[in-house]
């Protein structure tokens, strides 16, 4: 399994971590969206909240791994045929925004839990609080966390739409460079 990027494709680790992050983000969003359908006071509703915390902290851990692998894998493969400079700059800006989202959102969630003053327990282990209990701060942090999570829908959607537009409209290899190889292609 190739670690380094080639001149035409991302390395297998970069590709694998990209798609693993997508699955993890789907699970993070699903855990909170499904919680809204569960009756208040139900075991399901109570269980989805710590699952959301666990998945959110997993996003934070995985983004650190992703950044290390991305930097270690070398230069990104060139898009063929090459895109305009403005598109390349916009793509770079989108990637910065996505990484900022994947770092800031879980940290805001962790800060929110800390400011609420409740113990944060995952797999029986106490996660350290980042700030002291403060109800007003918890409310502000929760609002920021939820707003950024909402923005995440748009960032992820734009990222996916751009990849599909590259594939189906401009007919370059942007999407193909990130797809896993299947079979003997």
Match 């990027």 to its residue by tokens: 5
33 part of a folded domain: yes
Phi, psi of 121 (to 5 degrees): -120, 125
- Per-residue confidence (pLDDT) for residue 182, from 0 to 100: 66
3 part of a folded domain: no
Burial bucket for residue 183 (CB in 10 Å: 0-12, 13-18, 19+): exposed
What domain range includes position 135?
A: 12-170
Per-residue DSSP letter, 167: I
**What does pLDDT average to in each consecutive run of 10 residues of the chain (185 residues)?**
90 97 98 93 93 94 97 95 96 98 98 93 88 98 98 98 97 95 57
- Per-residue confidence (pLDDT) for residue 181, from 0 to 100: 83
CB 178 within 8 A of CB 17: no
Count of structural domains, the chain? 1
CATH of the domain at 23: 1.20.950
């Amino acid at each position: 399994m190739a670690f380094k990027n080639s001149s035409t494709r991302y390395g297998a680790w970069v590709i694998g971590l990209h798609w693993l992050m997508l699955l993890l983000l789907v699970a993070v969003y699903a855990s909170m969206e499904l919680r809204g359908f569960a009756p208040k006071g139900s075991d399901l509703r109570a269980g989805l909240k710590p699952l959301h915390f666990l998945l959110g902290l997993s996003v934070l851990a995985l983004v650190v791994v992703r950044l290390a692998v991305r930097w270690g894998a070398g230069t990104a493969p060139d898009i063929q045929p090459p895109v305009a400079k403005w598109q390349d700059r916009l793509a770079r800006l989108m990637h910065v925004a996505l990484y900022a989202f994947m770092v800031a959102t879980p940290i805001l969630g962790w800060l929110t839990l800390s400011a609420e003053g409740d113990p944060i327990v995952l797999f029986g282990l106490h996660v350290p609080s980042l700030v002291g209990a403060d109800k007003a701060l918890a409310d502000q942090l929760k609002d920021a966390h939820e707003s950024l999570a909402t923005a995440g829908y748009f960032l992820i959607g734009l990222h996916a739409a751009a990849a599909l537009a590259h594939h189906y409209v401009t007919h370059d290899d942007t999407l193909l460079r990130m797809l896993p190889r299947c079979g003997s292609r």
